[in-house]
Amino acid sequence: MSGPPPMIDGSHDALPTPEFLQKPKELWKAGCEALEALFLLYHTSQNGLQHGLDGLDRDGGTSGKLASMPTFAHNITVFLDCLEYGFELVELQLVALRAMGVLLFQIIRSGDELSLVLPGIVSRIVKLVTGKFGGRTNYLVIASSIDLLSDILVSVMNDIELEGILDDSDSKVVSVSDDETQSISPVAIEPNMGNVVRTKPWLKASREQVKLALDSIITIRNHSKREPQNAILRLSLSILERSSQALSNCLPTVLDTIVFFASSNNNITDGDLRTKAENALKFHVSNYSVVKNIFEKRAFNWVESLSRLLVSHDDQQSIRILNAIQTSLELLKDTASETVLSDSLIRTVGDVVNLKPVTKQPLPVTGFSLNSKELVQTNSISASKRQLSFADFGITSLLSSESQLNLSKVLTSIGSSRNGSIVLGTLLDRVESEPPGSELKVTYFWMTMNLLKGVCISNKAEAEEIDSWIITDEATPASPDDAGTILDALYYCRELVQQATSVRFNKETDPMVCLSLQGIALVAEFLGVGFRDELVDTLYPLVEMLGHSNPLIVAQSQRAILQITQSCEYDTVQSLIVDNADYLVDGMSIKLNTLDISPRTTVILTTLINLAGPKITPYLDDLVSTMFVILDNYHGYTTLTEGIFSVFKALVAETEKGYSEALLLEGSKVTFDSTGAIVSQTPHLSNLTELLAELSRKPELPQLEVDSDDEDDDNSHNNKPFSERLAEVENRFKEDSQDNMQEDADLESKPLENPDEKLQQEWTSIVPKSTYKVIEHIVNYSDRYLTHTSSTLRYNLLELISSSMTIMASSQTDFLPLVNKIWPVITSRLDDSDTFVLEAALKCIGIACEKAGDFMTKRVVALWPKLKSLTAPFASKKRSLKFSPELRLLTALVNSLEMILANTPVPDDLFEDILSTFSRYFDLEQTKGLKYQLEKINGDAVWIECLMMGSAKPPTPPHESLAPIKIASR
C-alpha cells in the first residue's frame, strides 16, 4: 500500500443500529465477557503465542495484519459503543474496558497497529471521562479508562521505539550512563527503525492531539475519589518515564500533576504512589536538562500565579500551588534556581498579602491564676512544631486558614535552605526600615518569623546529625553566619517586647508583639540550655506580658515561658521564676522607681507571685518599700492603690499557702471535728479498766527547788538573833553578786562565733524571719487605708489582714502588739455602710480572737455593745431573711461570735447577753454553730433559755406523783 490504512478516529459516521441499542445491557455485558474469554484463550493458546499479530507480516506491511483479522476494528468499535451507551450498567463498562485491554495489549501488542486505533480510543475515552456522553461516569470506570489510556499512550508513543523519528531537541538529555537511561524505561522494547505509520508528520500531529486530550482529563486529579486520582498519577508517571521525549509538549501538564500528588501535604495519594512520584521527580530533574528546565519554568509560573490566586476565592487552587512551590523548593534545594525562586516568592507575598491588625476591643486588665501544670497541659507542643494561623497573632487577611498555614510552610522551607539565613537577614532589615504601625511591616515580620523557624529547624537538625556520630560533651553550634542572624532576630524581638511593656515607648501594634513572642520561643528552642544567658534581659518582659489586656499576647507569652522552661531544662515554671527571681525583681524595681507603671504592672507582679510562690517573698522587701512610697505619693489614684494592695494580698495568700501545713501543726492547740466540736486531747479509753486506771491516776505536780534555809525561815524560827540572820543574808547576797559578775565577765570574754545563727536560733516561728517581717510590714501599713473611699479597697484590706493573721500568730511576741495596734481600726469598720465590708470586718475580728485567745477578752467585752447593735436591722425581719443583706450580716455576725466563744473566755454576764440575744434565731440553720459553742460553755443555761423560748421540751418527771416543773415562757 502506498499509505497507511484507515484509522478509527472516534467519529460517529456509523452509529449503532436501533436493534443493537434496544438489546438489554446485561446481554451486552455477557457478549463483552465472552469476547474477553475468547481473547484470553487465544492469547494463552499455543497458536496465539507463536502467531500473534505482532509476529505476522515481518516485512513491515500492515495490510496482512488487518486482512488476517478483519473483525479487529469492529471489535474496538463495539467496546467503545458499550462505553458510550452503557451508563445504565457500570459492570458493562468495566467489562468492556477490560476486554479491550486484553485485545490491545495481549493480542495486538504492536505499536504500529495500536497507533491506528489511538485517535478513536483517545477521543472516546476523553468524552467518557469528562462526561460529554450525557451521563455521570462512575469513578471506577474513570479510573479504568485512564489506565487504558495510559497503556496505549506509552505503547504507541514510546521513546525507544520512536528514537529514529525524534528531533534532536526532543532527545537532548544530560550525560548519563546507559544503565540510567535504561532505568527510565522499565519495559525493554527494541528500537523500530522501520515505522510505516509512526512517522515524523504523524508524531507531530499526534502529540498535539494527545496534549489536548491530557489538558481535558487532567482535572480528574481534583476528583473526590482516590481511584481516579491515583489513575491520573499513574498516567503522568508513565508519560514521564517512557514518553518524556515523544510527548515533550505534555511535560508541563505532567509535571504539574506529579508535583501535586508528590506534595507532602497531600493526604489523598497512596503512600507507595507518592513515594514513586517523589523518586521520579528527583531522578528526572537531576538527570534530564529538558525536564529540569521545564520544571524550573513551571515553578516560576506558580510563584507568579500566586499574586492572582491569593486574592481570589479559589482556596483549593491556591493551596495546590503553594504545595507545588514547597515541593519545588525541596527539589531545587541548594541550587541557584532556589535562591532566585525564593526571592521572587518573598517579593510576591510581600506585595500581595496584606495583613492588618484585628480591630477588637481589648479585655479589661484583670488578675488571673497561672501555674506550671496548666501551662504544660495547654501548651505542650514545641514552638517549631506549632502551626499558627493569622488569628493567633491578631491579624486579619483575605486568605483562608488553610492557605495561611500552607504559605507558612513554604516560607519555612525557604528558611531551611542553604541561603535561608541570608534571606532572613535581608527581610529583617526590611522590617526594621518600615515605620512603626504600618501594615507592610506586619506582613514582612510575619514572613521573617516563618523564615526564622526554618533557619532554626535546619541548623538544629544538622547539629543533631553531627552529634549522632561525633562523641562530644557539648552540642554542635550553628554556623557563625546563621547563629549571628538568629541572635539578631532574638534581639529585635526582645526590643519590641520591652517597648510593649513601657507606657512611654510602646508604638508597635499587638500583632508585632505576638510575633515577637513567637520568635523568642523559636530561638529558645534552638539555643536550648544556652538560652539561660539571655534570661537576664528576656524573662521579665515575658512575665509582664502575662498581664496584658490582649488575650492573644497572654497566650503567646505563656507559650514562650513554657518553651524557655523546657529548653533551659527547668522542672517547672515555678523553678524558672524562683531561680531567676533577682532578674524579675530588678526589672520590676526599675519600672516602679521610674514611675513607668500602668494598671498592668500590679497585675504582672501578682502573677509573678502566684507563679513563684512563697519562696520569692524574701526578695520583695525593697520592692514592697518602693510600693509604700508610691502609695504615700499617689494614694488618690484609686486604681493604682487597689492594684498595689492586690499585690500585697497575693503575697500574703501565697505565703500562707506555702506554710499552711506547718502553721497548722504548730498552732493547733485545739482540734475541731467536722461539726465544729473540739476534739478531746485525753487518750481514748476503750474499756472500764482503763477508765478506772485513768481516774485513779494522780496528777503530777512540778518539782520546785526550794532553798532549805528559806524553808526553815518560812516554817520555823531557828532561835538565832535577828542581827546574826541579817549578817548571813548580806554575806549570801555578796556571794551571789560576785558569782553573777563572774558569769557576765565570762560571757563578755567569749566572742559570738555566728551572730546570724544566734538570731536565727532565737526566732521561733515556722515562717522565716525575713518573710515574716515583709508580711508584718504590709499589715502595719495597711491599717491606714481602711478608711479609704473605695469600698473594694477596704474589703481587700480586711481580707488581707485576715489571711495574714495565721502567719503573724506563729510568733506571739510580735503578733499580740500588732493586734493591739490594728484592733481599733478594724472595729471601726463595723460602722461601714457596705454589707460586704461589714462581713469582712466581722470575719477579721473572729480570726483575731481565734489566734490571740484570752488576750482578746477585755476587747470583746468592750466591743459587745457594738456587735449587739448589728442585730437591730434583722430583729423585725426574722421570717423574711432569705436572700437578703440582713441574712448575710447575721451569718457573718454569728460566725464571728462562734470563733470568739470557741477561743476567747467571756464573762458570765456577757455569755447570758449573747444567749438571750440570739436564742430567738436558734431555729435558723446559720446559728447551729453558735448554739453548739454556747452549749459547750453552759449547756443547762442554753436548755433553760430554749425552754423559756418554747423551743425545748420540759423534762419528764421521774414519777407520776411529781408535778412537772412549770417555767413561764417569754
Residue 845, all three cell numbers: 475580728
The whole-number pLDDT of residue 719 equals 53
* Cα distance between residue 252 and residue 298, in whole Å: 7
The whole-number pLDDT of residue 734 equals 59
* Cα distance between residue 63 and residue 811, in whole Å: 118
- Cα within 13 Å of Cα(683), Cβ side: 8
* Cα distance between residue 308 and residue 305, in whole Å: 6
* Cα distance between residue 62 and residue 73, in whole Å: 13
Residue 208, all three cell numbers: 498535539
Q: Are strands 395-396 and 356-357 parallel, antiparallel or unpaired?
A: antiparallel
The whole-number pLDDT of residue 521 equals 92
* Alpha-carbon distances of 970 from 148, 874, 880, rounded to whole Å: 109, 19, 22
Average of pLDDT values for 24-48?
A: 82
Average of pLDDT values for 773-780?
A: 87
The number of beta carbons lying within 10 Å of the beta carbon of residue 365 is 17
More confident of the two residues 733 and 858: 858
pLDDT tens, position by position, 131-173 = 887 778 888 999 999 999 999 998 888 888 888 777 655 544 4
534 pLDDT exceeds 50? Answer: yes
Cβ(797)–Cβ(775) below 8 Å: no
Q: Which residue has the cell 534581639?
A: 491
Alpha helical stretches, state H, 716-751: 722-749
Percentage of residues in the chain with pLDDT exceeding 70? 72
- Report which listed range, 42-56, 109-123, 387-401, 698-712, is most confident: 109-123
First to last CA, the chain: 138
Q: Which residue has the cell 535577828?
A: 722
* Cα distance between residue 180 and residue 125, in whole Å: 34
Instruction: Select from 310, 306, 376 the least CA-distant residue to 341.
Output: 306
Q: Which residue has the cell 474499756?
A: 687
The whole-number pLDDT of residue 919 equals 85
Cβ(797)–Cβ(645) below 8 Å: yes
868 pLDDT exceeds 60? Answer: yes
pLDDT tens, position by position, 314-373 = 777 788 888 888 888 888 877 777 788 888 888 888 877 777 776 654 444 444 344 444
Cβ(414)–Cβ(332) below 8 Å: no
* Cα distance between residue 838 and residue 830, in whole Å: 6
pLDDT tens, position by position, 385-421 = 666 667 778 887 777 777 788 888 888 888 888 778 8
pLDDT tens, position by position, 461-498 = 665 554 444 444 444 455 666 788 899 999 999 999 88
Cβ(649)–Cβ(610) below 8 Å: no
581 pLDDT exceeds 60? Answer: yes
* Cα distance between residue 538 and residue 22, in whole Å: 84
Percentage of residues in the chain with pLDDT exceeding 90? 10
Instruction: Give the pLDDT band (50/70/90) at residue 191.
Output: very low
Instruction: Select from 644, 559, 662, 562 the least CA-distant residue to 603.
Output: 644
Instruction: Give the pLDDT band (50/70/90) at residue 378.
Output: very low
* Cα distance between residue 170 and residue 247, in whole Å: 9
Identify the three-state secondary structure at position 172.
Answer: coil
More confident of the two residues 178 and 250: 250
The whole-number pLDDT of residue 953 equals 60
pLDDT, mean over the chain: 76
- The rounded Cα 335 to chain-centroid distance in angstroms is 37
898 pLDDT exceeds 90? Answer: yes
β-bridge partners, 927: none
The whole-number pLDDT of residue 710 equals 45
More confident of the two residues 115 and 754: 115
The whole-number pLDDT of residue 725 equals 52
Residue 911, all three cell numbers: 455569755
The whole-number pLDDT of residue 184 equals 37
* Cα distance between residue 595 and residue 605, in whole Å: 15
Instruction: Select from 419, 397, 418 the least CA-distant residue to 407.
Output: 397
The whole-number pLDDT of residue 738 equals 59
- Residues belonging to the chain: 970
More confident of the two residues 633 and 800: 800
* Cα distance between residue 935 and residue 643, in whole Å: 45
Kindly report the CA angle at 837 between 832 and 840, in degrees rounded to 5? 130
The number of beta carbons lying within 10 Å of the beta carbon of residue 501 is 24
Cβ(616)–Cβ(609) below 8 Å: yes
The whole-number pLDDT of residue 265 equals 60
Cβ(843)–Cβ(895) below 8 Å: yes
- Phi and psi at residue 779, to the nearest 5°: -65, -40
Radius of gyration of the chain (CA): 47
* Cα distance between residue 146 and residue 125, in whole Å: 8
Average of pLDDT values for 781-791?
A: 84
The H or E element that residue 396 is part of is: strand 395-396
